[in-house]
Amino acid sequence: MGVRAATRLLILAMSPLLVAVLISPASAEIWEDACAWERPLGRRAVGVRDGKVMWLTYLLAKQREFRTLAYYRLSCHGTTWKALGLVLGLLYRPQVALSIDCPDVGPRLFIEHGYATTITAERIGADCWINQNVTIGYGSRPGLPVLGDKVYVRVGAVVCGPVRVGDHAVVGANSVVTHDVPEDTVVGGAPARPLGARH
């Protein structure tokens, strides 16, 4: 069986979720996310150039992190879409232990691996990249983090409390961020400290 034939079978198998995504008010947002996922994943059997239906099918079928993000986008459009996402999630399971609880997530979020990741923030900017075993959420002070645009949060990092991570910043692996991070800065360590400028 060829790649395209297998993809067509996937389209059939994924059609309830695919149709929900395509007709939902979140369709444009989800497609924008999908386009941003091609480069980090590398060229696979299918890609954006193979068309919207094929690429969405591939991501929804093979990338549980993307599926979780799609359910999040659906839930932002009211209780009906949230309920539909919950029902579809019984058939097409989201990523285990990946939680997104944020009123404002910018476009083109990429979640790499995503297992054991909690994203509880006031805002996540555009074009952010978040790895596995990451905790973004409450700390000892009241309030939630705000991540700017094009922020990278690497594996095992913790960003907690009312901190602001500036645009283009990188939070290094296993860092613990409890204070603001300036834009274009790489931080690392526990507690996190500046390690230099992002190149």
Going along the chain from its start, the domains and CATH numbers come out as 3-91 (no CATH), 98-197 (2.160.10.10)
The more confident residue out of 51 and 5 is 51
Strand ranges across the sheet with 185-188:
110-111, 129-130, 152-153, 170-171, 185-188, 193-197
**Residue 196: predicted pLDDT:** 87
- Predicted confidence at residue 9, as pLDDT, reads 85
The residues pairing with 105 across neighbouring beta strands, listed in sequence order, are 124
State residue 44's pLDDT score: 61
Q: What are phi and psi of 70, to 5 degrees?
A: -65, -45
Task: Over range 58-62, report the average pLDDT.
Answer: 92
- In terms of DSSP H, where are the helices of the chain? 3-13, 15-23, 27-41, 52-62, 64-75, 79-91
- Name the average pLDDT for the chain: 93
Model-wide pTM > 0.75: yes
User: Is pLDDT at 4 greater than 70 in this prediction?
Assistant: no
pLDDT band at 3 (very low <50, low <70, confident <90, very high): low
Distance of CA 47 to the CA centre of its chain: 18
End-to-end CA distance of the chain: 45
Q: What average pLDDT does the segment 126-135 reach?
A: 98
How much is the pLDDT for 43?
Answer: 60
**What is the structure's pLDDT at 163?**
98
Tokens at 86, concatenated = 């919950």
Q: What is the mean pLDDT of residues 90-96?
A: 96
